[in-house]
Structure 1
Amino acid sequence: MARIFTLPVMRGLVLLIAMIVWVNVYAATVHSQTLNSPVYIKNLAEDLAVVDPITEVATHISGTPYALGLISDQTFSFAIDLADVTKPGRYSAKIQNNAIPEGVKLISWEPDEIVFDVDFITTKIVPVVIETDGWVADSYSVKDVEVFPNQVTVHGASAALELVSDVKARVSIDGRSQRFTAPVTYKAETAEGTVNHSVWITPESGEISVEIDKGASFRNLGLKAAFAGELPGGFWIQEVIFEPQVMMVSGTQRKLDQLSYLFTTPINLNGKTKSFKTQVAANLPNGVKVVGENLVLVNVIVQSSEGTRQISIIPAYINVTEGFGVTNINPSSIKVMVAGNPEILKGLSRSQVKLNLDLQGALSGANFVDISKGMFEVSEGLSVVSFEPNRVEVILSRLQ
């Protein structure tokens, strides 16, 4: 009788059985995953709005690979029930989870409680700012762009509306070579360029008309100084003044959209101890031309640094939300350039320069706070020239 199970066949069977066992073990293993799940506000009075609503929470879940494969950020949702909020003010509330899918365990979510401000709803009429994406075909340029309606009404808490000066309408012109119209959705944005969820817009959408024709594009660009050499020790450049301040240039739409400003040809700083004037030109990229004469008069203001001193200070905090405390700040100290009488600066101490970091409206968790000169207190005869950084990350946590 012939041997059916030869050595290679036996090896193959063992390998197949091992793979089947591994697949079954893996399928039964519990894994963890983190999602960014949406948060909704419910039962808030119709005449009230949250000033800066939270829109997502970090959701930590676990389950089998199969169950987790069916999950997305939108599978879980959370709600903040504000039925008890009847007037403007500062409140705290728990974030509540909705239904949990079968086969998945909800471990935790962050944050699970927030502090927020509520105000009466107001409205504001603002202009629509058109932004284009991409570039038209070579040898073509955008002649005119219009949007209808070009004004919209923005709704939200009064404090939130103070930060909204316009809304954006974005349209793609990539590769276009003739006139076209397209529907657009209006969006209010934060200073960081993200969607502003504190407000809503009516109407929500409109129509953009873009006029495109043959010919070069034109654009006004500001100037930035390029330097060669260095000032002697103890001297620094306070300001550079250009005449003209902007220059009109021509080129393809693609070339011009890649430019934020024009550098000058190098300005020599070697041996300069006083303010001086000189003539330079704009340093033009290939394919870009100046409309008119390429000549710039530059006034370089040079100052002695003997009347300044840098000091590092640790901020103090004001307007901290009741019941919360600062648990961390990044960076931990601020570098401040102070100007004044050299005799006073010789004995400068940290007690003479104070930063009162305003945490008005800061919520639980990470908050990015902008620093302004108005937050500093200095002794008589001193002034703050500059500071860095101009923004810090402050972590707030509930006090135990």
Structure 2
Amino acid sequence: MKVIRKILSFLPTLLTALILALVVWVSAVTSSDPNEIVTYPKPIPLSILGLDPDLVISGDVVDTVTVTIRAPHSIQQELVSKPESIHAFVNLSGLEAGVHTLQPEVTIDIRPARVEKISPESITVTLENLLTREFSIDLQLTGSLPIGYEAGQPSLDVDTVLITGPESKVSQVVRVIATVDLNNVTTSISRAVELKPLDNRGVIVNGVSLNPTQVSVDVPVRQLGGYRNVFVKVVTTGQVAQGFYLTGISVNPPTITIYTTDPALAKNMPAYIETVPISLNGVRESFESVVALNLPEGIQVVGEQNVTVTVGIAAIQSSLQLVDVPIEAVNVTSGLKVTLTPDRVNLYLSGPLYLLEQLNVANIRVTVDLQGKTAGTYQLTPSVDLGYEDLELDSILPATIEVVLSR
């Protein structure tokens, strides 16, 4: 008993020593790894938990939150490097259809850490009953086939579609359409077409899912008997002017539709129709012309009876060197004598061949303008007048000459 009493008499002292040691340890740890309160700038993704499979979230929902955490500096550093350790969620377990205000929750995998603040503090979630309805697919053919073609009975690989989504959205859908444009179609169609859910105003209803999202559509298209598509062959006569060449010939439209009361005639005729001849004799520039077609007997054109032919013509390009072209001094002050060194230059020209062939030294004027110049020595650049705008002066040698004015 005396031993027990003796031990008990030391117990307050032992407890005091233990508390002091704990305080010293906490103080030491805190001073070396102090607590910090940090608001993480990167939003935390917000997960939705516990949603009843017969319900669906309607409208927009906050999908991230900003979190402020109290933790030692070392933990904060670790959380920054491992943002996936912070989890944010709202729990919808047990909730029915309606509007609910919920508080997001945050858990942290790394300890010790405490959540000080979540922003926003609450979020609003609207739950609706999940509804699925079946609709027949309404195939709409828009546009018109070219003359001489007809479309057969179209077919779909599936006739119905399931629309799933919030009850308020699915209830807006009155029909589901698939649209195929027939404009300029001359062959049978087989393509995948997107399905569109529409309301009673013909506006697409968003926020619902379709199964399937598209349908395969086949539309047979055939050309009627007696009709045929042929290309236009441009017929020309003669040659363009000497020194020019043909850059190209195009026709619009490039193909036409013909018709005959005799289907065999249409089938056996060539795959083209010629234009009446277009003369190119002596032509020097591009032109455009409306031209008639040379139709075989019994054949007529469907639509416009003429075509537009565009003919491109350009000059053949070449180059020319002229040697010892004399230099002329102009605007010389009265009483001054002019000495040019050198008094002739070489010219290097380029341009249309037919102009170069007509060119000679007599056609060209090389001058130095001495307007206002007094007695003295000058280094001047000659001016060259070639007489034709389409000719280019590529080089003049020498590029400058010495001019001496004396009395």
Q: TM-score, normalised by structure 1?
A: 0.28
The structure number with the bigger radius of gyration is: 2
Q: TM-score, normalised by structure 2?
A: 0.28
